[in-house]
Structure 1
Amino acid sequence: MRAIWKGSVSFGLVNVPVKLYSATESHDVSFRQVHAKDGGRIKYQRTCSIDGEEVAYADIAKGYETEDGEMVILTDDDMADLPVTSSREIAVEKFVPSDQIDPMLLEKSYYLEPEKTGAKPYALLRQALLDADRMAVVTVALRQRTTIAVLRVKPGEGGGVIVLQTMMWPDEIRTPDFNVESGEVKDSEVKMANMLVETLAGDFDVSDFEDDYAEAVQALVKAKIEGGEIKRTPTSTKSSGEVVDLLAALQKSVEAAKSARGESSSDDEKAEEKPKKKAAKKTTKKAAKKKAS
């Protein structure tokens, strides 16, 4: 992994120099839009909805649409006046009970690694969070914008690692505009529901779940490549040794090996082939299958 940010965690008079790493990566399968006849990629032009003319990238500005449909154009000078920050500090505001943090507020996760000089205060903060069973609510500037986040400990070897999880602002959580009618629930139905819960009770193990859809797509693409079902386009007329990179491009979208580095999708990343053929289901719980049978 490559550090995407360097700074320090400050709580009280203690300062912990750290590095920040993306803790997650998306494995969603992505497809390109192509011409079904010859496999050519579909291109989109930037055109103005009013005069229909193509607009050069240099002439594109940011616009904010009001509730009544009016468009407010913001210039580069306007954007320069907005509050931004380049602070390299993760400031602990308070330590709160873990159960007070609504999971809906949590967004992206990052690992915090201490610099060599911060190993001891890092371990101190980690142990304090564990002993108190609390999370640290912090403010941090990422991509020049200040956001709120929490620090928590992910258990593991060596005492675990501190994870920073950014949070959504309260007004970004939508309130449901419907009411759930519970209806009349009989005691016998509640008892049966409780029995079902006990039957399916167990500890969470992430290995019980797998992305069958992505593997099925890989197998499908591999089968088509082996069967010669490939559209030759000007961008893919390469030697047979590089044709396999077409599959590697799909594999890259699944593994998103470069997403943490902010690189776009390409056809030049190598990946291992997975010939397993499975039903195209997004997620499958192995344990539930066994009990259902």
Structure 2
Amino acid sequence: MAAGSRTLWKGAITFGLVHIPVGLHTAAIEEGVDFDWLDKRSMDPVGYKRINKKTGKEITKENIVKGVEYEDGKYVIISPEEIEAVYPRTTQTIEIQRFIESSEIPFVYLERPYYVAPVNKGQKVYALLREALIKTGKVGLAKVVIATKQHLAVLVPSGPALVLNLLRWGDEVKSLADLDLDLPAAGVKGAKGAKVTPAEMKMAERLIDEMSGRWEPADFKDEFKHAVMKIVEKKVKAGDTETVIEPEEEAPQENANVIDLTELLQRSLKGSKAGAARKGEEVESKPASAAGKSAKATAKKTSARKSASPAKRRA
């Protein structure tokens, strides 16, 4: 990988008895324009506030709970301990479930790509899997847990690299059958049904042929972002700028009650493994009191930092 590429995740690709140690590197760059909120009177940064939508009053973190709406206006409250208990277990594996034809996955399911690189002398098996996928025209459909969240993913050969592209789950993509869309039928019958003439088809094919070319990603840019940055550069050169002084961080609140679920999950997983080794049985749950106290202390620092940071809106 290129110099400066940080490994986001280390684990292994597994299928059958094959085990390929790999690391993940982000393959996407988010470079939209970030607009910070500022008070136009004083140029002070404006942050988020937790507001009760009914009373309009600000409320403290300890009075906030998480709820899931199951009917209009009706909620079920889920505790931090219940959320922790159902978080997916981190396995550090890209577990291939099956191999499928590369053409079977519609583009609408593709969500976020990662480059997969071999580590710990895994180059040979890595190359074997990549070339086998290319030769067979297959891709690997897999499950992977990244940052405590389980994803469906597809492992695809791309030049010298394997790319792990996270997918949307089946129930996250709307089915055409559920949408009231007036679409002509596919294929020759669809063209006839839409009254497309042979002459029109020939002209369309000719136009497509004339406009065809190679895929060159550098040819396409975010025009809005570049236009905004030109305005910024022009104003900087003209000295038309403002100085924003970030306020000092507030002292941690003693009564903050936000639980770092990632830390709790990691701790409970370690405890489960240790308990299973001692008792010879799986530990399904553990008291959350001690972990909760530790998490509260960690959350105090996190809440103080968040309360001082300016709100951002991505264009």
Settle same-fold status: TM greater than 0.5.
yes
Residues matched between the structures, number? 236
- Cross-structure match for 2:182: 179
In the TM superposition, 1:1-293 aligns within 5 A as: 1-155=5-159, 160-175=160-175, 176-180=179-183, 183-235=194-246
C-alpha contact (below 8 Å) 2:45/2:244 kept by paired residues: no
Is the partner of 2:32 in helix, strand or coil? Answer: coil
Distance 2:50 2:134 in 1: 52
C-alpha contact (below 8 Å) 1:39/1:231 kept by paired residues: yes
Distance 2:22 2:174 in 1: 34
- Structure showing greater relative contact order (alpha-carbon pairs closer than 8 Å, 6 or more residues apart): 2
Q: Deviations over 1:52-80 (max 9, x none)?
A: 33211233221212232212221112212
Distance 2:243 2:19 in 1: 57
**Structure 2 residues without counterparts, runs of 5 or longer:** 185-192, 248-305
Q: Deviations over 1:163-189 (max 9, x none)?
A: 111111111111333213574323322
Distance 2:24 2:12 in 1: 10
Scaled by the length of structure 1, what TM-score is found? 0.73
Distance 1:141 1:207 in 2: 32
Distance 1:88 1:28 in 2: 31
The structure with the greater share of residues assigned to helix is 2
1:198 is displaced (CA, Å) by: 1.4
RMSD: 2.4
**Structure 1 residues without counterparts, runs of 5 or longer:** 237-263, 268-281, 283-293
Distance 2:145 2:245 in 1: 44
C-alpha contact (below 8 Å) 1:149/1:164 kept by paired residues: yes
Scaled by the length of structure 2, what TM-score is found? 0.69
C-alpha contact (below 8 Å) 1:34/1:41 kept by paired residues: yes
Percent identity, please: 30
